């Protein structure tokens, strides 16, 4: 049962289900967790949120509800499965007591989500339609014509509908593009990633749509760059690099002359190559000077680029991409990069995660024909609070069980020498992923 309380009424032992208001207003990288320390409690009470939702079935209930429960003889109802809200809810971490002892029978092959295969077919049709439209948009731009922004809005809406039905279906499909279609499908991919990311951050519906349109339009300035430069397999000369660095300004000018272009699309087109340390282009903006759209766009743009086959580089797997992107200090907003990873259910190698089997595990890599599965080395039983023989589990994007519930904290589980423990688990001789 969810109960709304003010921050001042929070107590240790309560399970936070959500914060009201923007994610910028609360001091935590996640919205679902048990309050376990005085420091967490202090940060909640001093936060800028108006209220928070407490899950009374998964932690300490507010006093009024505790009194009501003692006087209520009716049988307690099990909490219902959350409805369609955001991917954040699908990935929410659970408290230790939320897990029953893992049943060996639960560790069978993953159960596909209902309708996943059908949504893949629908997603492919949406991708094909959008690719044709984006190709035509680029050709029109090369001829100096204004962009048909209303058409892009309709396409972004269709992609958003697919994301809402099953985010992983479309996102996994659009990642598998051929080298010769990268320019056009990159825009489709960034659109999908931006919509999914915006929904995860619980932005309002208009912002989500505008972020999608911005993703479709962000690279239109590349019509001013020759295909020979864009597809060059070797290093670019100084002149060629100067030409590439001019594409955000070129695209911004083109969109300014196109009626109905959302402000977010203008912003993303101009700023998606900026970096938080100020070393990006074209403006060299840094820190607070960069908008949320610019920070999100930088992450989505690079993620799709490095997970796509290019003339000069093989594609990284999603796990490899996130592992490397986290190493690029000063390039991305690190808190937003973690949010992005959560929105896709991808994790850097070495990340501690919790599984629906009631186990903790460490991400070790990717598997599957298109490297869409996450391989997790399970090593700890959350119910027994003890280590188990390490075993690798391949978690498919279409699986409901086993699935990754979310990242977890070594400190929460009192893994005092986490680096030593992680090294020992990763060095273990383990059978191939199940």
Q: Does residue 181 lie within any of the structural domains?
A: yes
Instruction: Report how far Cα 29 is from the mean position of its chain's Cα atoms.
Output: 13
Last residue of a domain, one of 27, 62, 80: 80
- For the cut 80, the answer to whether the pLDDT of residue 74 exceeds it is no
Domain range enclosing 58: 2-80
Of residues 117 and 357, more confidence is placed in 357
Q: Does residue 183 lie within any of the structural domains?
A: yes
pLDDT tens digits along 178-196? 777 888 899 999 999 999 9
Q: Are residues 249 and 358 in the same domain?
A: no
Domain total of the chain: 3
Q: What is the mean pLDDT of the chain?
A: 83
Query: What ranges in 262-414 are assigned the alpha helix state H?
Result: 263-271, 292-306, 318-325, 334-344
Q: Does residue 180 lie within any of the structural domains?
A: yes
User: What is the rounded average pLDDT of the residues 197-218?
Assistant: 94
Q: Does residue 8 lie within any of the structural domains?
A: yes
Q: Parallel, antiparallel, or unpaired for β 33-34 and 52-55?
A: unpaired
Q: Are residues 258 and 324 in the same domain?
A: yes
| Cα–Cα distance for residue pair 382/152, rounded to 1 Å | 47
Last residue of a domain, one of 316, 344, 372: 344
Of residues 47 and 407, more confidence is placed in 407
pTM exceeds 0.75 for this model: no
Verify cis geometry, omega within 30 degrees of 0, for the bond prior to 402: yes
Q: Are residues 130 and 273 in the same domain?
A: yes
Q: Are residues 246 and 285 in the same domain?
A: yes
- For the cut 80, the answer to whether the pLDDT of residue 157 exceeds it is yes
- For the cut 90, the answer to whether the pLDDT of residue 330 exceeds it is yes
Rg from Cα positions in the chain:
23
pLDDT tier at 46 (50, 70, 90 boundaries)?
A: confident
> Residue 239, Cβ neighbours under 10 Å: how many?
8
pLDDT of res. 13: 83
> Is the CB of residue 192 less than 8 Å from the CB of residue 208?
no
Q: What angle do CA 328, 332, 337 make, to 5 degrees?
A: 100
Q: Are residues 315 and 170 in the same domain?
A: yes
Q: Does residue 122 lie within any of the structural domains?
A: yes
pLDDT of res. 108: 43
Q: Are residues 124 and 243 in the same domain?
A: yes
Last residue of a domain, one of 80, 105, 133: 80
Q: Are residues 336 and 359 in the same domain?
A: no
pLDDT of res. 95: 34
pLDDT tens digits along 124-137? 999 999 999 999 99
Q: Does residue 212 lie within any of the structural domains?
A: yes
Of residues 118 and 194, more confidence is placed in 194
What is the per-residue burial (b if ≥16 Cβ within 10 Å, else e) of 51-78? ebbbbbbbbbbbeebeeeeeeeeeeeee
pLDDT of res. 88: 35
pLDDT of res. 353: 94
Of residues 96 and 345, more confidence is placed in 345
- For the cut 50, the answer to whether the pLDDT of residue 209 exceeds it is yes
pLDDT tier at 26 (50, 70, 90 boundaries)?
A: low
Q: Are residues 338 and 376 in the same domain?
A: no
| Cα–Cα distance for residue pair 133/355, rounded to 1 Å | 40
> Is the CB of residue 282 less than 8 Å from the CB of residue 251?
no
Q: Are residues 281 and 361 in the same domain?
A: no
Q: Does residue 321 lie within any of the structural domains?
A: yes
Q: Are residues 322 and 391 in the same domain?
A: no
pLDDT of res. 68: 58
pLDDT of res. 419: 95
pLDDT of res. 28: 58
| Cα–Cα distance for residue pair 434/429, rounded to 1 Å | 15
Q: Which residues contact 208 (CB under 8 A, 6 or more apart)?
A: 160, 195, 198, 199
Q: Does residue 102 lie within any of the structural domains?
A: no
Q: Are residues 243 and 303 in the same domain?
A: yes
pLDDT of res. 208: 94
Q: Are residues 277 and 167 in the same domain?
A: yes
| Cα–Cα distance for residue pair 131/337, rounded to 1 Å | 27
pLDDT tens digits along 246-278? 999 999 999 999 999 999 999 999 999 999 999
- For the cut 90, the answer to whether the pLDDT of residue 84 exceeds it is no
Which residue in this structure is represented by tokens 């992005």? 340
Joined together, the tokens standing for residue 16 give 């936070």
Percent of the chain's residues with pLDDT above 90: 52
Sign of the alpha-carbon torsion through 394, 398, 401, 403: positive
> Best-predicted range by mean pLDDT among 71-85, 126-140, 360-374?
126-140
> Is the CB of residue 168 less than 8 Å from the CB of residue 374?
no
pLDDT tier at 166 (50, 70, 90 boundaries)?
A: confident
What's 179's domain CATH number? 1.10.3210.10
pLDDT tier at 49 (50, 70, 90 boundaries)?
A: confident
């Amino acid at each position: 049962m969810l109960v709304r309380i003010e921050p001042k009424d929070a107590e240790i032992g309560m399970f936070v289900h959500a914060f009201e208001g923007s994610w910028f207003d609360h001091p935590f990288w996640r919205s679902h967790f048990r309050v376990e320390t005085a420091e967490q409690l202090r940060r909640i009470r001093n936060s800028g949120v108006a209220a928070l939702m407490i899950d009374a079935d998964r932690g300490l209930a507010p006093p009024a509800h505790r009194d009501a429960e003692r006087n209520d003889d009716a049988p307690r109802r099990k909490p219902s499965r959350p409805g369609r809200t955001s991917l954040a809810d699908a990935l929410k971490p659970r408290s230790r007591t939320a897990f029953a002892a893992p049943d060996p029978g639960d560790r069978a092959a993953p159960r596909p989500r209902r309708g996943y295969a059908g949504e893949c077919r629908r997603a492919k049709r949406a991708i094909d339609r959008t690719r044709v439209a984006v190709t035509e948009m680029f050709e029109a731009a090369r001829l100096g014509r204004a962009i048909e922004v209303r058409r892009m809005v309709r396409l972004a809406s269709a992609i958003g509908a697919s994301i809402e039905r099953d985010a992983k279906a479309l996102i996994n499909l659009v990642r598998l593009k051929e080298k010769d279609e990268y320019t056009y499908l990159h825009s489709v991919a960034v659109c999908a990633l931006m919509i999914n990311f915006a929904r995860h951050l619980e932005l309002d519906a208009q912002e989500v749509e505008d972020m999608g349109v911005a993703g479709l339009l962000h690279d239109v300035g590349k019509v001013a760059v020759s295909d020979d430069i864009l597809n060059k397999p070797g290093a670019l000369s100084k002149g060629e690099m100067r030409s590439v660095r001019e594409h955000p300004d070129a695209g911004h000018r083109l969109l300014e002359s196109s009626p109905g272009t959302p402000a977010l699309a203008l912003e993303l087109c101009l700023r998606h190559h900026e970096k938080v340390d100020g070393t990006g282009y074209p403006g060299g903006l840094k820190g607070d000077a960069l908008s949320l759209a610019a920070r999100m766009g930088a992450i989505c743009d690079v993620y799709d680029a490095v997970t796509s086959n290019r003339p000069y580089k093989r594609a990284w797997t999603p796990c490899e991409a996130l592992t490397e992107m986290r190493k690029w200090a000063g390039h991305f907003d690190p808190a937003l990069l973690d949010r992005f990873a959560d929105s896709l259910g991808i994790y850097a190698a070495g990340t501690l995660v919790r599984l629906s089997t009631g186990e903790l595990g460490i991400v070790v890599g990717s598997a599957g024909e298109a490297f869409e599965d996450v391989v997790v080395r399970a090593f700890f039983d959350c119910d027994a609070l003890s280590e188990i023989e390490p075993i690798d589990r391949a978690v498919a994007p279409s699986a409901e069980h086993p699935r990754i519930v979310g990242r977890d904290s070594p400190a929460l589980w009192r893994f005092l020498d986490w680096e030593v423990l992680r090294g020992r688990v990763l060095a273990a001789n383990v059978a191939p992923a199940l």
